Each structure stands twice: as structure tokens, then as C-alpha cells.
């Protein structure tokens, strides 16, 4: 079997890390695309030169013409501008909307059969715009945010409870904004729900509440430290896990920004919910039962996504 092709649109901090991880995991041949000529070629060559020592076989190339992504099996989109300190994700709307319109047209022309993962912020609106601009079926375009947010949540919980990150399972629902909904009831350590761990005295409700808050602001914490951009190691790792589930038809259950057509009472929006990712893309949306408080938080988050979507439509009538 010939190798699969993974196209990375945007060869910045996340794009470069994606290329490195995809190489190390031997997911396929990799092409980096960016409007800045030289950067995708340079990163591709640098990573290719690491392959003999790291021990992976992959062809890595870079380009600044959309024909480079031709026939890709998976496309991961990070093209756009990231946040600077003091900026919210929503401040990126107008610039990144223009970028996504071009990327969507490129995908439509050169790789209409791909599975597409959008990372560009503001995430829930950008993935919606990318689906519109590319015309791909909704189940073949998802947004990456929930995997990152829940990985942050898992990490903080593992640190608090002094257990392996591998045994902590958690997920975050809703839009990728500060009103995302980290689910405490559905987060577990080796199958034991967090509320039980509080009852067992492993931690306190107040400490869990603080972790939920830190998770919500997890992206901003990194932006504040880096000062020149946003997180990239954890976002890239999360997106690669999604790509791998698709390429290997693993059918992992992952929180992703997925297109909802009635589930959770939401119609025609991309919002973070748990989904099964397999060879057909989003194979199933897992509709979990929310209690009244969770539902209220989820609806608040959905309302933020909807408001931003209206702002996007007002900026660009083509959407
Ligand atoms: O959870 C999440 N979804 C996120 C999202 C977590 C972290 C960061 N998130 C967002 O990802 C962030 O707010 C940005 O919108 C994207 C990309 O972040 P990254 O840190 O990789 O930004 P860089 O390093 O600035 O890279 C962006 C690249 C850069 O090389 C530009 O030249 C390129 O995008 N770019 C383009 N490429 C192709 N086509 C066009 N039009 C274009 N415009 C810019």
C-alpha cells in the first residue's frame, strides 16, 4: 500500500509541530503549505533531515501553491494569525475569515475527498466557514479544540490527584471560548467519576472548581507566558490524534467541534461535542445527558458561537 498524504495548510508553529509529529508517527507523506515562500520548504527539509536519526520514513515537501495539497487524504488547517496578549480568540475573526475562504477554495479544487481538521481560531466559526467555502460533506470537516481543552483538563487533574495522566479521562463540551464546559461528572480516574473522588477525600470541590476555571483559561495562560503567540505543542498533538483515528479507522471517541443537525437541540452550527472519528470522518455524535446546570452552561457557550457566526456573516456576505 502506498503511503497516505497529509497536507498541512499553514506552516507556522502548529504546522511545523504537526509535520514533525506526523513524521515520527509515520502517518504518511507530508506536505507543508504556506503563503510565506521558503518557510514550508525549510521546515520540510529540516524535519526530513531528522528522519534518519529518529528512524521514520516519510517524504516531506513544502510549497506555496495550492496544487501542493492535491489528492491529500488528511488536511490540517492552521493558516491565519494567532492571538497576542490582550487579544481574545474572537479578535481574529475578520482576518482569519478571509484566509479560510481561500483555503476552502483550495481544498475544493485540489483535495475534495480529504478529511479536514480545522485549528484556526475562532475555531467554531472558522470550521463552519471552511465547510461552506470547501463544500465538503459536514462529516468530513471537524474542528480541533475539545481534544486540546480536555487534554489540559486531564493534565491538571492528574497533577492534582497525583496519578498518571493515562488514567485520567475527561472531556470538555461547547465552543472553544472562555465559556467552554469542562464536564466534571463525566470525568474519571480509572472509571471513578470526579464527584466520587471528592467524596473519597482525594481532593475538594473547591480545587476541582479552580481546575475547571484554569482549563477554561488554559489558552490565555500560555499566550500570557509566550507573549509572541499561542500554544502549539499540545494543539498539534491533539490534532494528530484525530488524524490518526481517521487514517487508522480507530473510531476513538473524541470531543471535537462537529456539525450538529438537531443533536443537543442545536441545528446548523459547529460546536464541541463527543464524536466517533473513523474512516468515514465523524461517524456518530454521542449525545450525552446534561443536567440543568450543564445544559445552562452549554447553551451559554452555544449562544456565544452563534453570536460570532452572525458577526462573521455580517463581515462577509458570501458565507
Ligand atoms: O485549539 C485550537 N483550535 C487552537 C487554535 C489552539 C492554539 C492556536 N489556535 C489557532 O491556530 C491560532 O489562534 C491560529 O489561528 C492558528 C495557528 O496558530 P500558530 O501558532 O501555528 O500560528 P502561526 O505560527 O502564526 O502560523 C500561522 C501560519 C503562518 O505561517 C502564516 O504565514 C500562515 O499561517 N498563513 C497562511 N497560510 C496559508 N494561506 C494563507 N492565506 C495564510 N495566511 C497566513
User: Residue 244 and residue 233: Cα distance in Å, rounded?
Assistant: 17
Dihedral of CA atoms 274, 277, 283, 284 in degrees, nearest 10, equals -10
Cβ of 123 less than 6 Å from ligand 1 = yes
Please compute the mean of the pLDDT values over residues 225-245 and round it to a whole number. Answer: 96
On whether the CB atoms of residues 247 and 74 are closer than 8 A, the answer is: yes
Catalytic residue from among 140, 154, 176, 216? 176
Task: Decide if pLDDT at 1 tops 80.
Answer: no
Cβ(176) – ligand 1 distance below 6 Å: yes
Decide if 20 is catalytic. Answer: no
Among 48-57, 82-91, 177-186, name the one with the lowest average pLDDT: 82-91
| Among 44, 79, 89, 148, residue to substitute to test ligand 1 (most atoms within 8 Å of Cβ) | 79
**The pLDDT of residue 54:** 98
* pLDDT tens by residue, 149-208: 999 999 999 999 999 999 999 989 998 888 899 999 999 999 999 999 999 999 999 999
Which residue in the block uniquely carries the three cell numbers 484566509? 99
Least confident of 127-136, 154-163, 286-295: 286-295
Minimal CA–CA distance to 36: which of 61, 54, 63? Answer: 63
Per CATH, which fold does 5-143 belong to?
Rossmann fold (3.40.50)
**Residue ranges per structural domain of the chain:** 5-143, 146-313
Closest atom of ligand 1 relative to the 123 alpha carbon: 3
Q: Is the ipTM of this complex over 0.90?
A: yes
pLDDT at 190 (0 to 100): 97
C-alpha span between 135 and 116 (Å, rounded): 12
Grid coordinates in use for 303?
Answer: 449562544
CATH entry 3.90.110.10 includes domain 146-313: yes
Give distance in angstroms: CA of 283 to centre of ligand 1.
27
The answer to whether 96 is a known ligand-binding residue is: yes
d(CA 240, CA 76): 9
Read out DSSP for 6-26? EEEE--SHHHHHHHHHHHHTT
Amino acid at each position: 500500500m502506498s503511503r497516505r498524504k497529509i497536507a498541512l495548510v499553514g506552516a507556522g508553529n502548529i504546522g511545523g509541530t504537526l509535520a514533525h509529529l506526523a513524521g515520527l508517527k509515520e502517518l504518511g507523506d507530508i506536505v507543508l503549505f504556506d503563503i510565506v515562500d521558503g518557510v514550508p520548504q525549510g521546515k520540510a527539509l529540516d524535519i526530513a533531515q531528522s528522519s534518519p536519526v529518529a528512524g521514520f520514513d516519510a517524504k516531506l515537501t513544502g510549497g506555496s501553491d495550492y496544487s501542493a495539497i492535491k489528492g491529500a487524504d488528511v488536511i490540517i488547517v492552521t493558516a491565519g494569525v494567532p492571538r497576542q496578549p490582550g487579544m481574545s480568540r474572537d479578535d481574529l475573526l475578520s482576518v482569519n475569515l478571509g484566509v479560510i475562504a481561500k483555503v476552502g477554495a483550495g481544498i475544493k479544487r485540489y483535495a475534495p475527498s480529504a478529511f479536514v481538521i480545522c485549528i484556526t481560531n475562532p475555531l467554531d466559526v472558522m470550521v463552519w466557514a471552511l465547510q461552506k467555502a470547501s463544500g465538503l460533506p459536514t462529516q468530513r470537516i471537524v474542528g480541533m479544540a475539545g481534544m486540546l481543552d480536555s487534554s489540559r483538563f486531564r493534565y491538571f487533574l492528574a497533577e492534582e490527584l497525583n496519578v498518571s495522566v493515562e488514567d485520567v479521562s475527561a472531556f470538555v463540551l461547547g465552543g472553544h471560548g472562555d465559556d467552554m464546559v469542562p464536564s466534571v461528572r463525566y470525568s474519571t480516574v480509572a472509571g471513578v467519576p470526579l464527584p466520587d473522588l471528592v467524596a473519597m477525600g482525594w481532593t475538594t470541590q473547591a480545587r476541582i472548581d479552580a481546575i475547571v476555571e484554569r482549563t477554561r483559561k488554559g489558552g490565555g495562560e500560555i499566550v500570557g507566558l509566550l507573549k509572541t503567540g499561542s500554544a502549539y505543542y499540545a494543539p498539534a498533538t491533539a490534532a494528530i490524534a484525530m488524524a490518526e483515528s481517521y487514517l487508522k479507522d480507530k473510531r476513538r471517541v473524541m470531543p471535537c467541534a462537529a456539525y450538529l443537525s438537531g443533536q443537543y437541540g442545536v441545528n446548523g452550527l459547529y460546536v464541541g461535542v463527543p464524536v466517533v472519528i473513523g474512516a468515514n470522518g465523524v461517524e456518530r455524535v454521542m449525545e450525552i445527558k446534561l443536567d440543568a446546570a450543564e445544559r445552562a452552561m452549554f447553551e451559554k457557550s452555544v449562544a456565544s458561537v452563534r453570536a460570532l457566526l452572525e458577526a462573521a456573516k455580517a463581515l462577509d456576505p458570501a458565507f
